[in-house]
Amino acid sequence: MLRAGLLLLVLLLVVPVGAGAQALVELVGPTAQIPRDGYRTWTLFLVCNPAWVAPEQSGALRNLYRRFKIFGDAIGKDNLAVWFWTRRTTIDDPRLAENVDVARSAEFCRRLTLRPTAGPFLVITSAYPDLEAFPRDRTVFELGGLPPEELASLLNRLTDELLLEGKAEAARRSSASGAPDSPIWMRLLEGAQRSLIGFGCGVVVKVDTGMLSAELRACPGQ
């Protein structure tokens, strides 16, 4: 069950790169709509805990946003990464933390029954993330057990794995045209497992679909 859950996580994250769409969208204000057409997956970064937007968190959130942007670029242009702001400002704003739209993230947390203190969250779905009818098939990273520096490190690892596996798959296809598929999903599964190594008990990954429900903890033995 655990391996099946991780496999689904990778299936959601790693799909071919498309053209003409954005990799990252920054939505400003409570009514800005998440783009719908032209995407295969949506990844929402949800900050539902008001403690995360204290003024002293601005530097950490700035760093985290930059890592999330790189992550959004890495997952491909037909896979959308979504970040919520309350107003337009520069990334160097010393009060940047106050600009994170906690209220909008909290709406999704309530809909998905996510405890704010367990976040921030990465919520990944292969269907449009309509707040009123959120897709049942989804993967959730609970990241509340990590300090901001380690959150950024985890995003870096996920980005590395996605980029490396994307290059490996491209090389395989160009050199073995017409040949049977190699076990790419096994390699991707191993990559997802490697991404969680070293983070202790700070990360929980939950997979929920119509066919399975699974939970993975970075903490050994749990």
Q: Please, which pLDDT band fits residue 193 given cuts at 50, 70 and 90?
A: low
Domain definitions of the chain by residue range: 2-217
Position 138 scores a pLDDT of 82
Residues in the chain: 222
- Mean pLDDT for the chain? 73
Predicted confidence (pLDDT) per residue in 40-98, tens digit? 888 899 999 888 888 888 888 888 888 888 888 877 788 889 999 998 888 888 888 88
Residue 204: beta bridge partners?
142, 217
Give 54's DSSP letter: S
Contacts of 123 (CB under 8 A, 6+ apart): 43, 44, 46, 108, 112, 129, 138, 139, 140, 141
Position 23 scores a pLDDT of 79
- Is the per-residue pLDDT at 16 higher than 70? no
Report the C-alpha gap between 169 and 177 in whole angstroms: 12
Average confidence (pLDDT) over 105-116: 94
Of 86-90, 194-198, 213-217, where does the model show the most confidence?
Answer: 86-90
Average confidence (pLDDT) over 110-131: 91
Residue 46: beta bridge partners?
121
Position 56 scores a pLDDT of 87
Least confident range of 28-32, 138-142, 176-180: 176-180
